[in-house]
């Protein structure tokens, strides 16, 4: 049985490489109909991952409005933003909608659907004076913020083995029968 439409928003953070192997099988196994949206920076930084995502979902990764790809997205029943860069967290928390992904995210806040963000930011980004305030703002808006056990991580572009994909998915998945 389908749980509904799940947007998975990926950004230009190292853990995006894990999305095809770690998140998508879990989400599909739970019955989500998954649409992946990527920032333009994610698309250009991780082109092979974008190909793997398209193959796994059977859909092109969305980085722009429907005029570019040829199909419109259904409204989501839940949204996961993972991994979320410092940049996307900061701009989303300010209400900025100057890209396709940020526009979609700004639209979803306040719709009453489950939204979860899981940052993947190194210690230098996390030390920026705005960072904790941005996470607090998202939480005040009702966004589930899931912080992995190794966050913030040390500098470098590796993907942490313990990025909390199961915990992230659990925040948006309804118990059976609800």
- Judged by CB, which is closer to ligand FMN: 24, or 81? 81
Query: Site for ligand FMN (CB under 6 A): which residue of 18, 57, 63, 88?
Result: 88
Stretch near ligand FMN under the rule CB under 6 A, chosen from 57-65, 66-74, 86-94, 169-177: 86-94
Q: How many residues sit in the footprint of ligand FMN (CB under 6 A)?
A: 16
Q: Is 163 in the site for ligand FMN (CB under 6 A)?
A: no
Interaction between residue 86 and ligand FMN (CB under 6 A)? yes
Is 8 an interacting residue with respect to ligand FMN (CB under 6 A)? no
What burial class does residue 96 get, using C-beta atoms within 10 Å of its C-beta: 0-12 exposed, 13-18 middle, 19+ buried? middle
For 39, 111, 165, the CA distances from 169, given in Å and listed in that order, are 20, 19, 6
- Name the segment binding ligand FMN (CB under 6 A); options: 51-59, 104-112, 119-127, 144-152: 119-127
Would you count residue 90 as binding ligand FMN (CB under 6 A)? Answer: no
Per CB under 6 A, 134 contacts ligand FMN: no
Residues 6+ apart with CB under 8 A from 157: 14
**φ, ψ dihedrals at 98, nearest 5°:** -105, 10
Q: How far is residue 61's CA from residue 39's CA, in Å, rounded to a whole number?
A: 10
Reduce the DSSP state of residue 27 to 3 states and report it: helix
In whole angstroms, what is the distance from residue 173 CA to residue 170 CA? 5
Our finding on whether 39 is near ligand FMN (CB under 6 A) is yes
* Member of 55, 64, 157, 162 binding ligand FMN (CB under 6 A): 157
Asked whether position 131 contacts ligand FMN by CB under 6 A, the answer is: no
Strand order in the sheet with 32-38: 32-38, 4-10, 78-84, 115-119, 144-145
Contact residues for ligand FMN, defined by CB under 6 A: 11-14, 39, 41-42, 45, 85-88, 120-121, 125, 157
């Amino acid at each position: 049985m389908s749980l509904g439409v799940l947007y998975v928003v990926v950004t230009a953070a190292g853990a995006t490489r894990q999305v095809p192997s770690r998140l998508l099988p879990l989400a599909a196994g739970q019955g989500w109909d998954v649409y992946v949206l990527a920032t333009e920076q994610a698309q250009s930084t991780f082109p092979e991952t974008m190909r793997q995502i398209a193959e796994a979902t059977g859909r092109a990764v969305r980085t722009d409005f429907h005029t570019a790809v040829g199909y419109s997205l259904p409204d989501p029943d839940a949204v996961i933003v993972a991994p979320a860069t410092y940049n996307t967290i900061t701009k989303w928390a300010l209400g900025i909608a100057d890209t396709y992904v940020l526009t979609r995210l700004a639209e979803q806040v306040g719709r009453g659907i489950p939204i979860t963000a899981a940052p993947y930011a190194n210690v230098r980004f996390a030390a920026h004076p705005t960072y904790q305030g941005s996470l607090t703002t998202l939480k005040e808006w009702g966004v589930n913020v899931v912080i992995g056990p190794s966050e913030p991580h040390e500098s470098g572009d590796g993907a942490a083995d313990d990025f909390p994909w199961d915990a992230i998915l659990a925040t948006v998945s309804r118990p059976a029968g609800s």
